[in-house]
A and B are shown apart, each in its own frame.
Chain A
Amino acid sequence: MPRAGTAPSRRTCLARWPWVLLLLAGGAAAQEDSLPSLTGTPGDAVRGRAIVTTRQRGLCLLCHSGPFPEERFQGDLAPGLAGAGSRLSEGQLRLRLVDGRRLNPQTIMPSYYRSEGLHQVGPAWQGRTILTAEEIEDVVAFLLTLRD
C-alpha cells in the first residue's frame, strides 16, 4: 500500500472531491448511454439484417444508408450504418434503438421500443412498439457485425 502510514491531510481530501464527483457523474452518464439486453438472450444477426433491410419492418434505410449493395434506395437523413459496430457498444446501440430521445429529445430517430408519450397514433399502431424486444436484440446483433 503506497499510502500506508501517511494520513491524507484535510486539504488533499477536499481537493479530491471534484474528481470523485466527476467519476460519479461520468458513471451515471455512462449508464444513461447504454441499456442492458431486453431479453437476456443474444439476438440473431441474420434476422437482424433482414429487419434492417426490409423497408416496412425496420424502416432503417428510409433515413440511413449502409453496406447493402442490393438496396438501391437508401436515405441520407442520418449517419451511415457502416461501422456502427465499431463506433458504438452493444448497450449504446440498444439505447439508440429503444429510445434515442433519452439522448436527444429533438432526434428524428423514432423510438423503436416505446409506445407511450406519443400523439395521434393510428389505431393499428396504438399501444404497440415499432419492433419487439426480440427484434431489437436481432438488430443490435446485426449492427455489431458492421465493423468498418
Chain B
Amino acid sequence: MRRAALALLLAPLIALAAAAQPQSGFELMAPETQAMQRDDTANPGMLWVQEGEALWQQSGCAGCHGDAAASMRGAAARYPVYDEARAGPIDLAGRINQCRVERQGAPALALEGEPLLALGSFVAHQSRGLPVAPPADPRLAPARAQGEALFRERRGQLNLSCAQCHDDNAGRRLAGSPIPQGHPNGYPLYRLEWQGMGSLQRRLRNCMAGVRSEPFAYGAPEYIAIETFLMSRAAGLLLETPAVRP
C-alpha cells in the first residue's frame, strides 16, 4: 500500500525526467525495423553511404579533406553552423554544394537528388554514434529562435503545429503509429514509406503536406532554421545516419 502510494508520488517525477531526456525515434520502432537499421548488411541506407564514398573519391573531395573518417567525423553532429557568406546557418547539403561551386568550380548538385543524398549520407555517416552537439555560437540564435517559432506555429487547413504532435503528444498513437519526438538525428535516412533515402527537409515537407499546408521550397532558409532549432532540441542524442524509419 505504502509502496503504491510512493510509486504514485514518484511517477510524475520519473515522467518529467524522461521528458527532459530526448528520445530517438529509433526507440519507438518495431524490433524488425530496429534490426534492419542495426545491421549494415540489411540497412538499405548503406547503399547510399557506399555510393557517397565513391562520389567522394571521384569528385576529389579527398584532395582537400583527406580521409573522411577523420576529417568529417563530428561534422554532422554540429551542423547547421554559421556561414559568413550566408550571414546565417548553413546545413550539410548546403556546405557540400558551396564547396563544389566555390572551391571545385563544379555545378551544384540538385537538392534531394540521389548524388547529394549519397554524399550527404557518407559525410553524416562519419559521425554515427556521436552525440548531437550544436555549437554555442550566438550568431545562430536568431535562426534557432525563428526555427522554434516555426515549430510552434499552427499551419494548414488542419491548423496544427509541429509542437502539438511532437512535443505535446509524442509517444501517443496517430492512427496506430506512435508519434516520435521528431529529432533529426538520423538524416539522410531510409524511410520504408518512401522506399528510398530522404533528407530532413523531405520529412518536414511530408508533415507540412499532412496538415494540408504549403511546404517551403527545398533549400528554403525556413527549413534550415527549423533544423537549427531541432538540433539544439536533440542535443545529446546519438547520430544514427543512415537511420531507418517506418
Chain A interface (Cβ < 8 Å from any Cβ of B): 55, 59, 61-63, 72-77, 101, 108, 110-111, 115, 118-125, 128, 130
Smallest Cβ-Cβ distance to B161: which chain A residue: A108
User: With contacts A108-B160, A119-B155 known, is A61 near B212, CB below 8 A?
Assistant: no
> Once the chains are docked, how many angstroms separate the CA of A72 from the CA of B168?
24
Query: Within the complex, what minimum Cβ distance (angstroms) separates A101 from chain B?
Result: 8
Q: Are A75 and B176 in contact (CB under 8 A)?
A: yes
Q: Return the contact of A75 from the options B160, B173, B213, B214 (Cβ within 8 A).
A: B173
Q: Which residues of B contact A122 (CB under 8 A)?
A: 156-157, 209, 212-215
Question: B163-191 vs A: 1/0 string, CB under 8 Å?
Answer: 01100110011111101000000000000
Q: Which residues of A contact B159 (CB under 8 A)?
A: 101, 110-111, 118-119
Interface secondary structure of A, over-half rule: loop
Q: Return the contact of B175 from the options A75, A108, A115, A118 (Cβ within 8 A).
A: A75
User: With contacts A120-B213, A121-B213 known, is A77 near B172, CB below 8 A?
Assistant: yes
Smallest Cβ-Cβ distance to B154: which chain A residue: A119
Q: Are A76 and B213 in contact (CB under 8 A)?
A: no
A sample of 25 cross-chain residue pairs with beta-carbon separation below 8 angstroms, ordered by A number, consists of: A55-B175, A59-B158, A61-B175, A73-B175, A74-B175, A75-B172, A76-B172, A77-B172, A77-B173, A77-B174, A108-B160, A111-B159, A115-B157, A119-B153, A119-B213, A120-B213, A120-B214, A121-B155, A122-B156, A122-B157, A122-B213, A124-B212, A125-B156, A130-B157, A130-B158
Interface size of B as a range: 20 to 34
Q: Are A76 and B156 in contact (CB under 8 A)?
A: no
Query: Within the complex, what minimum Cβ distance (angstroms) separates A136 from chain B?
Result: 15
Q: Are B157 and A125 in contact (CB under 8 A)?
A: yes
User: With contacts A120-B156, A128-B157 known, is A108 near B169, CB below 8 A?
Assistant: yes
> Once the chains are docked, how many angstroms separate the CA of A108 from the CA of B154?
10
Smallest Cβ-Cβ distance to A115: which chain B residue: B157
Q: Which residues of A contact B214 (CB under 8 A)?
A: 120-123
> Once the chains are docked, how many angstroms separate the CA of A125 from the CA of B159?
12
Chain B interface (Cβ < 8 Å from any Cβ of A): 153-160, 164-165, 168-169, 172-177, 179, 209, 212-215
Q: Which residues of B contact A73 (CB under 8 A)?
A: 175-177
User: With contacts A119-B153, A122-B156 known, is A108 near B212, CB below 8 A?
Assistant: no
Q: Which residues of B contact A101 (CB under 8 A)?
A: 159
Q: Are A118 and B176 in contact (CB under 8 A)?
A: no
Smallest Cβ-Cβ distance to A55: which chain B residue: B175
Q: Which residues of A contact B164 (CB under 8 A)?
A: 108
Smallest Cβ-Cβ distance to A76: which chain B residue: B173
Query: Within the complex, what minimum Cβ distance (angstroms) separates B157 from chain A?
Result: 4
> Once the chains are docked, how many angstroms separate the CA of A102 from the CA of B148?
26
Query: Within the complex, what minimum Cβ distance (angstroms) separates A61 from chain B?
Result: 6
Q: Are B176 and A110 in contact (CB under 8 A)?
A: no
Query: Within the complex, what minimum Cβ distance (angstroms) separates A121 from chain B?
Result: 5
Q: Which residues of B contact A119 (CB under 8 A)?
A: 153-156, 159, 213
Choose among B165, B169, B215 the residue with the greatest number of A CB atoms under 10 Å from its CB: B169
Supplied contacts A122-B209, A122-B212, A122-B215, 20 more A-B pairs, CB within 8 Å: A55-B175, A62-B174, A74-B175, A75-B172, A77-B169, A77-B174, A77-B179, A101-B159, A108-B164, A110-B157, A110-B158, A110-B159, A110-B160, A111-B159, A115-B157, A118-B155, A119-B154, A120-B155, A120-B156, A121-B212
